[in-house]
Structure 1
Amino acid sequence: MTSALLHSDVDREFVRKAPDSPTPAAHRHVTKEPTMTTTTTNSTLFEIDIESRFAAIVDQLTRRGFLAGGITAAGILGLAACGSSAADDPASAAPTRTIEAPLGASLVVPSEPKRVVALGASISNLCELGVPVVGTWTNAENAVPAAYKAAVAKLPKVQAADGTIDVEAIAALRPDLIFVWSGVSALERIEKIAPTFVYDSSSSITWQQRAQQTAYAVDKINAFDVARKAYRAEVARIRTAYAAQLANNHWYVVTPWDDANFQLEAVSTPGPAALKELGARFGKQQKHADTAANGGSKLSMELITDLSDADAMIFDDNGYGSTDGTLISANGRHLISQPAWKRLPAVTSGAMTVYNAFNIDNFTSGTAYLHAIEALCKKLKG
């Protein structure tokens, strides 16, 4: 596949902050983070004519009857095991292809990777695409959809929670492709083990763009195209069906920070970005979150009452993996125990849901989040 440079084919409002740890979402608010400076992407992405591909792919699938039953994105892609037997032979002799990596370097990779190591990268995308993963980072299971959690939990962990990478352990897994963020201290040693696809952690790219990069690297861009089309169809359906509930109520996405503070998420993060795309109206405090550094406005517990204008809220529980209303983090339980929190209109009316929106980086979790918003809309007046 020939690639050129991409600038805007995937929606720009889905912006993720640059990670500063191997598990950027899972540990983002456990400790105070340094302010990250992001740059606008230019030559770090790939030009892929998604819409024209969709036309051909959907036409082909429809004629074959695959879309007639309303098949979901997950159904199209298939649920991956996210694991590979250690006895499998590495694909060193397998056919290869040359791709353009995000940082501008050409990279020779297996045409069909068989033993992939994902370090602080989009393991959810690899699972969703059916790519065999043989090693990953500590706590990666907290950042993937429920369908992949058990398999990912069993994978060898070659990167610690503090970012330390066990290069020897990676080599022992005999990977044929490695995914990693830029800036890791052991990068030069890692690159000597196997072809290494380096995500640019300094750039402000969307979760859909990163998912596209991952699909491109493993030669599954067609699967990405079909999944994205299904996701976009859900966006359009919910935006139309619940236009009044989304536009006539005030929305916030709130994240617990520590025992003294919480954060109001900015529209540059996945949770509010999806709400914005659906046509949601935010509360009056949103403007402060959108102009703050680090993707949101950190507020003290004394300012909980500033959320009183919210009719509906998404509670992003500290970057942990809950999508069923269960509060996992101690900080999350502490925030909802505050008397002022319990008196918020959105809380007393039951118009709050718990969803790990910050960890959205694939179409499975992205679609599930849309459905969580839809469930809230059903509780609201138009």
Structure 2
Amino acid sequence: MTPLLLPTLDTDAEFARITAALTRRGFLSGSAAALSMLALAGCSSGEDSGGPDGETRTVQTHYGPVGVPVDPQRIVAVSYNTPWQLQAVGAQPVATLDYSAYIDQFTPAQQTFVNGLSTVGVFLQVNREAVVAAAPDLIVGDAYEIDEDMFRELSKIAPTAVYSGTNRSDWRTVAEGVADAVNKGSPLTSNREKYQAMQERLRTDYADQLRDNRWAQVAIGGSEGLFSILYPTGVTGAMLTDLDVTRGEFIPDLRPSTGFEAFPLEQLEMLRDVTVVVYPKQPDGTDSAGMKSIFASPLWSRIPAVASGQSFGISTQVTDYGTAINWLSELESGALEALS
């Protein structure tokens, strides 16, 4: 089987598999040429940069306090999810990673958001020369992809704010950090309050459906013959847990740091008491080839949830409060209303 080297919407399981496959973390281009471009561009270091009027403020990041422009005008996003976190709070980058090879994995709104922007590398491979050429006054990303060595190199170009959560499920901390870096705390707060209100409403309005059913989240397993269970240590696994669901009794009680655990298809029997299954769909609402291979297993059709038509796909990829609201909306319209 040819390994898939690019992220897809089978979020937690696929992201972890890709991260393991792409072991090279660094810059594509030589430092000498980049430093020459830096001098020609007249870009300043992280300590000297500011907004149009030179005013700066200090933010707390994964790598310590960083002085950033009060009103950044040329934001460069160097991590996979960062553009969507910027989009959620109304901040427009001038450059992002290159998503062209898998642009159909994103929603039309996301595609429009990055259309025509300069690119600065691909997933886990930042091109330093391209970052310099973008003439940023602020660089933002997350520590899952930007290690300390890369952070130091990027900080020579412009102030660099990199964030991380406590684990894979903690998208909130990263999204809030990115919003703080670009001085968009107000829209972030608004989105957070809307998310929390919706979360509480679903817990209340659908308490019986959430508690009285047995739930499981299933995704692709990374290679043929495998499936994954998404756990509360992952992004959407944590969101479902926050709704106080009852999970399947025979699902192994694990807390994998990746947010998922892969099992052979023969172990689909662990879902023998599950009455509701949630799984990731692609942005266009279709099922991925990986999920279709799981559906083809005779054991899949024996799961009570599948046999009773209570298997629900959700296409939203969660990176911030805005997309989290969309994920909850899909859960409500697709699953919770059908269970009522």
TM-score (norm 2): 0.77
Paired residue for 2:330? Answer: 372
Distance 1:94 1:241 in 2: 50
Q: Measure the CA separation in 2 of the matches of 1:29 and 1:208.
A: 19
Task: Map Cα deviations across residues 262-321 of structure 1 (whole Å, 9 max, x no partner).
Answer: 1101111121222222221111134x253345322211011122212211111125xxxx
Q: Which deviations, in whole Å up to 9, do the C-alpha atoms of 1:38-85 show, x marking residues without a partner?
A: xxxxxxxxxxxxxxxxxxxxxxxxxxxxxxxxxxxxxxxxxxxxxxxx
Counterparts of residues 334-373 of structure 1 (less than 5 Å):
334-356=293-315, 359-373=317-331
What is residue 86 of structure 1 aligned with on the other side?
none
Shift of 1:91: 7.0
Return the letter of the residue paired with 2:249: K
Q: Give secondary structure in 2 for the equivalent of 1:331.
A: helix
1:185 CA displacement: 5.0
Alignment of 1:1-382 (within 5 A): 25=11, 27-28=14-15, 30-31=17-18, 33=20, 93-103=52-62, 105-120=64-79, 121-139=81-99, 146-161=108-123, 163-180=124-141, 181=143, 182-183=146-147, 185-200=149-164, 206-257=170-221, 258-286=223-251, 288-317=252-281, 322-323=282-283, 325-328=285-288, 330-356=289-315, 359-375=317-333, 376-380=335-339
CA distance 1:203–1:279, shift in 2 (3 Å): closer
Shift of 1:133: 1.0
Question: 1:84 corresponds to which residue?
Answer: none
Give the secondary structure class of the aligned counterpart of 1:212: helix
Q: Is the Cα–Cα contact under 8 Å of residues 209 and 339 in structure 2 kept in the other structure?
A: yes
Counterpart amino acid of residue 132 in structure 2: A
1:259 Cα deviation from its structure 2 partner: 0.8
Provide runs of 4+ in structure 1 moved above 4 Å: 21-27, 29-32, 140-146, 201-205
1:81-130 Cα distance to aligned partner (Å, 9 max, x none): xxxxxxxxx97543422223323533221212222111115221101111
Instruction: Give per-residue Cα distances to partners, 1:111-168, cap 9 Å, x unaligned.
Output: 122221111152211011111112222338577655223322543331223x222111
**Equivalent residue letter for 1:275:** L
Q: Which amino acid aligns with 1:284?
A: E
Instruction: Kindly state the Cα deviation for residue 348 of structure 1 after the two structures are TM-superposed.
Output: 3.0
What is the identity, as a one-letter code, of the residue corresponding to 2:133? Answer: A
- How far apart in 1 are the matches of 2:254 and 2:121? 33
Q: Residues of 2 paired with 1:210 and 1:311: CA distance?
A: 33
Superposition deviation, residue 249 in structure 1: 0.2
Q: Is the 8 A contact 1:138 1:158 kept in 2?
A: yes
- Output the CA distance in 2 between the equivalents of 1:144 and 1:225: 25
Equivalences, count: 298
Return the alpha-carbon distance in structure 2 between the equivalents of residues 343 and 107 of structure 1. 54
Letter in structure 2 aligned against 1:158: V
Measure, in 1, the Cα distance between the counterparts of 2:211 and 2:232: 16
The 8 Å contact of residues 145 and 364 in structure 1, kept in 2 or not, is answered as: no
Q: What RMSD in Å do the two structures reach over aligned CA positions?
A: 2.9
Q: TM-score, normalised by structure 1?
A: 0.69
Distance (whole Å) between structure 1 residues aligned to residue 135 and residue 106 of structure 2:
24
Contact 1:97 / 1:109 at 8 angstroms: preserved in 2? yes
Residue 214 to residue 22, structure 1, CA distance change in 2 (3 Å): farther
Q: Give the helix-richer structure, 1 or 2.
A: 2
Q: What percent of counterpart residues are identical? A: 24
Please give the alpha-carbon distance, in whole angstroms, between the structure 2 residues aligned to 1:291 and 1:175: 39
* Distance change (3 Å), C-alpha of 1:272 and 1:380: same
Offset of residue 341 of structure 1? 1.5
Q: CA deviation at 1:361?
A: 1.8
Q: 1:221 to 1:141 in 2, by over 3 A?
A: farther
Name the CA distance, whole Å, in 2 between partners of 1:379 and 1:284.
23
| Separation of aligned partners in 2, 1:210 and 1:124 | 12
Counterparts of 1:266 and 1:147, CA distance in 2? 29
Contact 1:167–1:186 (8 Å) recurs in 2: no
Distance 2:283 2:215 in 1: 18
Which AA in structure 2 matches 1:157? Answer: T
Write the distance in 2 (CA, Å) between the matches of 1:310 and 1:115.
49
**CA 1:269/1:226 → structure 2, altered by over 3 Å: closer, same or farther?**
same
Instruction: Give the partner amino acid of 1:235.
Output: Q
User: 2:322, 2:95 → 1: CA distance?
Assistant: 21
Name the CA shift for 1:293/1:148 in 2 (closer, same or farther; >3 Å).
Answer: closer
The whole-number CA distance in structure 1 between the counterparts of 2:131 and 2:6 is 15
Per-residue deviation, 1:256: 0.3
DSSP-derived class of the 2:197 partner: helix
Structure-2 separation of matches of 1:149 and 1:268? 29
